[in-house]
Amino acid sequence: METRFNSQLLERAVSELSKLPGIGRKTALRLALHLLRREPGEAKELGQAIIDMREKISYCHRCHNISEETTCPICNDSRRDQSIVCVVENVKDVITIEATRQHHGLYHVLGGLISPLDGIAPSDIEIESLIERVRTEDIKEVILALSPTIEGDTTNFYIFRKLQDSPVKVTMLARGLSVGNELEYTDELTLGKSIQNRIPFS
Amino acid sequence: METRFNSQLLERAVSELSKLPGIGRKTALRLALHLLRREPGEAKELGQAIIDMREKISYCHRCHNISEETTCPICNDSRRDQSIVCVVENVKDVITIEATRQHHGLYHVLGGLISPLDGIAPSDIEIESLIERVRTEDIKEVILALSPTIEGDTTNFYIFRKLQDSPVKVTMLARGLSVGNELEYTDELTLGKSIQNRIPFS
């Protein structure tokens, strides 16, 4: 039985909040009652921030990362190496890789991975625009930074095939031991890859 | 290290969302990116629902439950028994008790419990207004529906003392076995209470 409240406004806020992923009606009610207890300005700022973000953020026409302008700040940053493009699945991955501070080139956000099971074909994601960028921009290296899953590997392979005849260098993220993890608890496939791809000690 | 985004608008939305209880920056980012992927209308409705709720909901002058009008729909409902008042700690407890459909009288929301440790004195919560209601309204029974905790019991006792000289009947929620729970796993205090307060078999 769904609990009803004696306020349509509360009902509406709870119903909207519970559309968010991982937030059920109970949590939504807790959040709404929390906001009711706080200063009115706090709810106003939260609500307005959500509206503004959705209205004003769109996508970079070049790399498809989120951007408030036609071209995103990363693409516009002349200090970044314009000849290296890191291919990622989604916007979140850009944020994750930026946090490592190890990539100083540009990005290309696919917006998904090839997945025949989920009905996602190569034409549904931003692969054609990547090929076009390689053709028209002065790109020397494409780093494939997709998840080591079946979908990620399929997409990696598809892009690799498409770029095979172009002079661009195609690399991918290393597979190996997780820093800080015990060797004993590393799965066999990863351990095997880390032996195949062993690197000079330094 | 705090992850930074290349959008001030995203940063602001994440920062506002992560002020909510139980929502950290990672969850806030997940929610924001989810909203960015959905129709713009969805974010607009969520944001507006939060703003409207906080702006337009206030408190019933009589029972202190949330209300869009000066007096809440429960107090205004002539079909409800105006002679029985159920005393609860907060707004959430009204919703919880309403969901049982077992209380057909009115409410009185204290807005907290007496707690010397947290510095909450009787004058900090709506006890005086309850005594006033008992004095001026035609109330026959006050049901104390507070949590069976030290704070709840202290508050129960304080209210009971205050109402001792008035002709109103003061009752409290039964303590006993939880429906569906094994006797074996019921704590001794509760089991003891359930023996003391045993009821005729029916």
Tell me the C-alpha distance between B174 and B145, whole Å.
9
Q: Rounded to a whole number, what is the distance in Å from the CA of A176 to chain B's nearest CA?
A: 24
Instruction: Report CB contact under 8 Å: B56, A5.
Output: no
pLDDT in the model for residue B1: 39
Q: What secondary structure does DSSP assign to B81-150, as a single string?
A: EEEEEEEESSHHHHHHHHHHT---EEEEE-SS--BGGGTB-GGGTTTHHHHHHHHHS---EEEE---SSH
pLDDT in the model for residue B26: 92
pLDDT in the model for residue B168: 94
On whether the CB atoms of residues A11 and A5 are closer than 8 A, the answer is yes
Phi, psi for residue A22 in degrees, rounded to 5 = 80, 5
Instruction: Indicate the residue type of B96.
Output: T
Residues in B touching A8 (Cβ below 8 Å): 68
Decide: residue A131, CB within 10 A, 0-12 exposed, 13-18 middle, 19+ buried: middle
Q: Rounded to a whole number, what is the distance in Å from the CA of B160 to chain A's nearest CA?
A: 28
Residues in B touching A69 (Cβ below 8 Å): none
State whether residue B97 sits within 8 Å of chain A by CB.
Answer: no
State whether residue B1 sits within 8 Å of chain A by CB.
Answer: yes
Residues with pLDDT less than 50, chain A: 1
Q: Rounded to a whole number, what is the distance in Å from the CA of A39 to chain B's nearest CA?
A: 9
pLDDT tens by residue, B135-167: 999 999 999 999 989 999 999 999 999 999 999
Residues in A touching B54 (Cβ below 8 Å): 35-36, 40, 42-44, 47
Tokens matching residue A149: 């899953």
* N-to-C CA span, chain A: 63
Q: Quick one: closest CA in A to B45, which residue?
A: A16
User: Measured between CB atoms, which of A22, A29, A55 is closest to B40?
Assistant: A55
Q: Quick one: closest CA in A to B97, which residue?
A: A3
Instruction: Report CB contact under 8 Å: B44, A27.
Output: no
pLDDT in the model for residue A1: 39
User: Measured between CB atoms, which of A21, A29, A52 is closest to B34?
Assistant: A21
Q: Return the number of CB contacts < 8 Å for A and B.
A: 184
Tell me the C-alpha distance between B45 and B193, whole Å.
49
Phi, psi for residue A115 in degrees, rounded to 5 = -150, 95
Instruction: Indicate the residue type of A112.
Output: G
Sequential pLDDT tens for chain B (202 residues): 355 677 899 999 999 999 999 999 999 999 999 999 999 899 999 999 999 999 999 999 999 999 999 999 999 999 999 999 999 999 999 998 998 889 999 999 999 999 999 999 999 999 999 999 999 999 999 999 999 899 999 999 999 999 999 999 999 888 888 888 888 888 888 888 888 888 777 7
pLDDT in the model for residue A3: 57
> Could you tell me which of B40, B39, B18 has the C-alpha nearest to residue A46?
B18
Helices B8-17 and A40-56 cross at an angle (nearest 10°) of 140
Instruction: Report CB contact under 8 Å: A51, B43.
Output: yes
* N-to-C CA span, chain B: 64
Helices A25-37 and A8-17 cross at an angle (nearest 10°) of 120
User: Measured between CB atoms, which of A16, A44, A52 is closest to B54?
Assistant: A44
Q: Rounded to a whole number, what is the distance in Å from the CA of A33 to chain B's nearest CA?
A: 8
pLDDT in the model for residue B171: 93
Instruction: Report CB contact under 8 Å: B68, A44.
Output: no
Instruction: Report CB contact under 8 Å: B46, A42.
Output: no
State whether residue B35 sits within 8 Å of chain A by CB.
Answer: yes
Most A CBs within 10 Å: which of B11, B16, B25, B53, as the mutation test of the A interface?
B53
State whether residue B54 sits within 8 Å of chain A by CB.
Answer: yes
